[in-house]
A and B are shown apart, each in its own frame.
Chain A
Amino acid sequence: MRSYLIRIPSAIWVILVMMTIFTQASSRYLTIENIINIIQQNSILLILALGATLVLLSEGIDLSAGAVLTLSGVTCARIMQRLMDSGSSNVTAMVAGVSVGLLTGALMGAITGSLVSLGKLPPFIASLGMMGVGGSLSLVLADSTAIYIHNPVYSFFGETLDKTVQLPAMQYLSMPTFIAIVVFVIAWVVLYHTPFGRYIVSIGGNEQGTRLSGVNVTFWKWMVYLVAGIFSAISGITLAARLEAADSIVGIGWEFDAIAAAILGGTSFAKGKGGIAGTVLGVLLIGVARNGLNVSGVPSLWQPALMGSIVILAIVFEVIHSRWREGLR
């Protein structure tokens, strides 16, 4: 029994404890609506966190994720706005905008990846630089404000599904959640069922050993950042659709939530330890905490301090917990 309980990831324990506390603090907390709300609000963070997890597994880090999220939303919106102003149909504008947004993410990822794999820069430095570049470009392209988008075809990506699909309980499933699920499945297949996924974990586990196994480490490392860039773009485009606007600073700080979620889910900075299932829990943990603080009426000035403390405590618990698990072997 004990060994069974300890196999339950640490994030689940933390989530359960927090939910118990928040339920006591507010009667509005434990309602279906609120739980659904948590899931919907955090779907976009999940997409970003999945990319962060892949990068962490390869023993890298991508600090530019938030900036790429912003920039992709902005380029997408900019193109869409241009085309619609010049009389293109909503569909054409949407397709073009989304494509350009995805391309932006891919390009940013490719540059970070080249700096890391070919340029042999530490990932921290390379992605920090790209974070600056991305943030600045977003401000320039959006004239330091937000670009509002009035395109129903595009906005569909941010809506709940009950209007389009006539099935029970559809009001609980939104497009962002649906997209996150699709991205999760793709990430799962890539990570666990393609050579690429194996190489990511193996490079994280032992880069030199992987190179000595004849694997083109330089190429696959580059690829990790490219994929992470695309994931950032998907979250940026979805976020803009949900807000019906591409804000020029919307993504600031998101990269830290994404990295924190991955680590809370058991992915480690080193040795290729962890996985994407844990990241889902990590995102939920962050979502539950943030929502709970809101609902139970903690003053907004104090919320970041409490969030930070919760994340630290949860990570400390994860470290202790993983030591217990190791001890059981």
Chain B
Amino acid sequence: MGERTIMEARGISKSFPGVRALDKVDFELKAGETHILLGENGAGKSTLMKILSGAYAPDEGEVYLDGEMVKVFDPRVAQRMGVSIIYQEFNLIPYMNVAQNIFLARFPKRWGFIDHKKMHGDATELLSSLNMKVDTHALIADLTTAEQQMVEVAKALSIQSKILIMDEPTSALSERETEQLFSIIHQLNRQGIGIVYISHRLQELDQVGDRVTVLRDGKFVGRRSIRGVTVDELVGMMVGHSVREVFQREHQPAGPECLKVEKLCKGKRLQDINITLRKGEIVGLAGLVGSGRTDLARAIFGVDKYDSGKVYLFGNEVRDFSVADMVEWGVSLIPEDRKNQGLALKLPVAENVVIASLKHLFPAVYVGKKKEMTYVSKYVDQLRIATPSVSRIAQYLSGGNQQKVVVAKWLCTKAKIFIFDEPTRGIDVGAKSEIYALMATLVKEGAAILMISSELSEIIGMSDRIYVMREGRIVSELSRAETTQERIIECAMGADEVKRQKEHAGTAQTQSN
């Protein structure tokens, strides 16, 4: 690791409507080091990364590159100053070849035409300098994810980047590919390139990082050297000590089992899932984004097919079910992506509310406006949806009220099982507690709720039991009594495994001694 600081951010703040994403955050990067940015979902990592790469301008604070203050925040300016970013979603053109992708927008030219020979020559040289074996004539679409990532790295290097920001680069890689990536990162470090590495995986830190900066709720918590920091300390930093109870609900004894999933598998995304849900219960489903929580919800709801396993509803096994079948059974899904999956924004509240229950409401096919309006009004009043009329276009409602419209849709179908996927995403604080109160009322009246949430305070405050998922598996089931924020984070990020490995290594060492 060099001693020269090549990037420094001081007192960075950034707000979006309703959220303070970053609050006076500091960050620094030295030449030739890999600096890990660690934090929960929503801790502010992406926002910081976007500011460093010029996609956002900060509200307050300064960014220095090689000691020079950045005045214009623009991705192209940042690139010219040597900062490149590799997003989780790659920015490659699938039906162009490797060399074309690397030199896109800067094609080497001869007499005004693209100099293919030079382009492929340069690309090959670049790739081999990184020990990457990729044919420069291959189409991006034909490459594996790992190879595509290498092309992204090569593309960044082709513009003489001195700083490379990588957003969860290993999330889609196999173990072997991960090792390969790490060796490339080490090599880049040796060439003096600084890398900002964003990750969720505590297991990786030892192998790739030099220093780590932890963010929590948009605030800078601390900076540590990887050597000498323990997993417990990092988890502690990420969680903090202010356990804020969002909502106090009365817990009641659970009733009979209404949903049971046995040995459900779907490729790599869901592996051997066993869960149960009882009447009157709120069961939390915790885990990182991409751990398979939404996949599980979609599989149970009949949206996506699964490979094997059994699903029981109210004691009956159901097979080959569609969404319509699940709705018939009284299952409902309140999706995370409200705007694309929950409701039709351009249509009135009333049409959104009745869409799932038209068949039952109007068995004679003719839809009577009057009956429909009385019916919809009943639920609008019951859920206290703030709208001037039921014919209001859904788009003009607040996030909280839109969410209530989605819930009203399922109350119309007489749903008994509610799967909430991030129920309070994008909803302001006041409306949040209303959604919590609504969920509490639902279970009190005999419904069952499976709640996916990335907000620890929410999941701890609301759930009777919590399942934690990691990489497509349920890694633990926590009762209300044993749940702490630390426990959930440890399970979700694999800290328990790191500890186990270390203990194992420790015992191995003592034995050999």
Contact = CB atoms under 8 A, between A and B. Distances in A.
A212 B303 contact: yes
Contacts of A209: 335, 340-344
Q: How big is the B interface, by class?
A: 20 to 34
A212 B323 contact: yes
Nearest to B344: A205
B367 to A, nearest CB: 5
B362 A195 contact: yes
Contacts of B343: 206, 209
Contact of A195 (B301, B342, B358, B409): B358
A323 interface: no
A212 B303 CA distance: 7
Contacts of A89: none
Contacts of B396: 329
B508 interface: no
Given A189-B366, A201-B344, 10 more contacts: A193-B367, A194-B367, A195-B362, A197-B367, A202-B347, A213-B327, A214-B413, A215-B324, A215-B355, A329-B396
9 contacts: A195-B359, A195-B367, A202-B355, A205-B347, A209-B341, A210-B355, A211-B323, A213-B355, A214-B356
Given A192-B367, A193-B367, A214-B327, A202 B344 contact: yes
Q: How big is the A interface, by class?
A: 20 to 34
A216 interface: yes
B333 interface: yes
Given A208-B341, A212-B323, A198 B351 contact: yes
A271 interface: yes
A201 B359 contact: no
Interface of B: 301, 303, 322-324, 326-328, 333, 335, 340-347, 351, 354-356, 358-359, 362, 365-369, 393, 396, 409, 413
B170 to A, nearest CB: 30
Contacts of A199: 355, 358
Contacts of B347: 201-202, 205-206, 272
Nearest to A270: B346
A131 B58 CA distance: 55
Given A214-B326, A214-B413, A198 B344 contact: no
A273 interface: yes
A271 B347 CA distance: 8
Given A195-B358, A202-B355, A209-B341, A271 B346 contact: yes
A112 to B, nearest CB: 24
B345 to A, nearest CB: 7
Interface string A167-198: 00000000000000000000001001111011
Nearest to A214: B327
Contacts of B355: 198-199, 202, 210, 213, 215
Contacts of B367: 192-195, 197-198
Contacts of B413: 214
Give the top 10 A-B pairs by smallest Cβ distance, nearest first: A205-B344, A214-B327, A195-B358, A206-B344, A213-B356, A214-B324, A271-B346, A193-B367, A205-B347, A214-B323
Given A201-B347, A205-B347, A214-B324, A194 B341 contact: no
Contacts of A216: 322, 324
- Residue with the greatest number of chain A CB neighbours at <10 A, chosen from B344, B351, B413: B344
